[in-house]
């Protein structure tokens, strides 16, 4: 229990800081995404900028909602006090993930790095949606532990943007690769990490439960 409180506290700090960063960066500092768009060179499809920016803002907003609602539903206090709130919050998370995936699908053809990056984003969207639906299926069957495990896997994908940019920065600034190549590595690298890390967390949680 103590380990979970520490883990949840750390998760809450990271999630809240990232939500604040995403909102400030995308809606206040650079609402036109000029810095991000500066890396999109040699696009094969014409970019309808006003539409793309509106879709991007919807994408960011619901990504933040998904991160916030997911975090709230991992709280034992919320679960114990109100199962109804937990359930409603879960559906808000599900809808938010769906909207993030749809908006990401629109933006994927314009992804930095071209077609290879676009394919990576489409694969990422399919995986995230599948995992989230699996979490819903498990709770419908009253399999609480399996539901929790699938939700841990699903919630990991809320950190897709963060993971992509961390990997991109590593290869771009650390190893000196061109930005487009670094970004493509970031997309595929994030898929691998976001599939592996939650399973490590699940394994540790299960070990802690057995040790009690």
pTM, full prediction: 0.92
pLDDT of 209: 66
DSSP string, 140-168: HTT-HHHHHHHHHHHHHGGGHHHHHHHHH
Residue in the block written with tokens 């036109």: 32
pLDDT at residue 46, as a whole number: 81
Residue 19 lies in a domain: yes
Tell me if 11 sits within 8 A of 74, measured CB to CB.
yes
What range defines the domain where residue 33 resides?
A: 2-157
**Looking at the domain assignment, is residue 108 inside a domain?**
yes
* 80-98 b/e (C-beta count within 10 Å ≥ 16 → b): eeeeeebeebbebbbebbb
Residue 114 lies in a domain: yes
Predicted local confidence at residue 206, as pLDDT: 78
End-to-end CA gap in the chain: 9
Number of domains in the chain: 1
Q: Could you report the average pLDDT of every consecutive run of 10 residues in the chain (212 residues)?
A: 77 95 96 87 80 96 97 87 90 98 95 93 97 97 95 97 97 95 97 96 79 54
What distance in Å separates the CA atoms of residue 164 and residue 92, rounded to the nearest whole number? 25
Q: What is the pLDDT of residue 80?
A: 79
């Amino acid at each position: 229990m103590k380990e979970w409180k520490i883990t949840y506290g750390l998760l809450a700090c990271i999630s809240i800081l990232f939500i604040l960063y995403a909102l400030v960066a995308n809606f206040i500092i650079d609402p036109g995404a000029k810095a991000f768009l500066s890396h999109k060179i040699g696009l094969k499809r014409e970019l309808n900028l006003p539409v793309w920016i509106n879709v991007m803002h919807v994408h960011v907003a619901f990504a933040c909602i998904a991160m916030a609602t997911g975090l709230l539903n991992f709280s034992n206090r919320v679960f114990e006090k109100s199962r109804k709130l937990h359930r409603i919050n879960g559906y808000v998370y599900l809808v938010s993930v769906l909207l993030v995936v749809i908006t990401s699908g629109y933006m994927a053809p314009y992804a930095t790095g071209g077609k290879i990056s676009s394919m990576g984003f489409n694969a990422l969207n399919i995986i995230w949606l599948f995992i989230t639906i699996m979490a819903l299926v498990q709770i419908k069957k009253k399999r609480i532990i399996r539901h929790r495990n699938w939700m841990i896997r699903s919630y990991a994908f809320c950190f897709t943007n963060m993971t992509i940019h961390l990997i991109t920065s590593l290869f771009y600034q650390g190893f000196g690769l061109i930005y487009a190549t670094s970004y493509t590595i970031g997309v595929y690298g994030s898929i691998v990490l976001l599939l592996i890390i939650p399973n490590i967390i699940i394994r540790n949680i299960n070990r802690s439960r057995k040790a009690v």
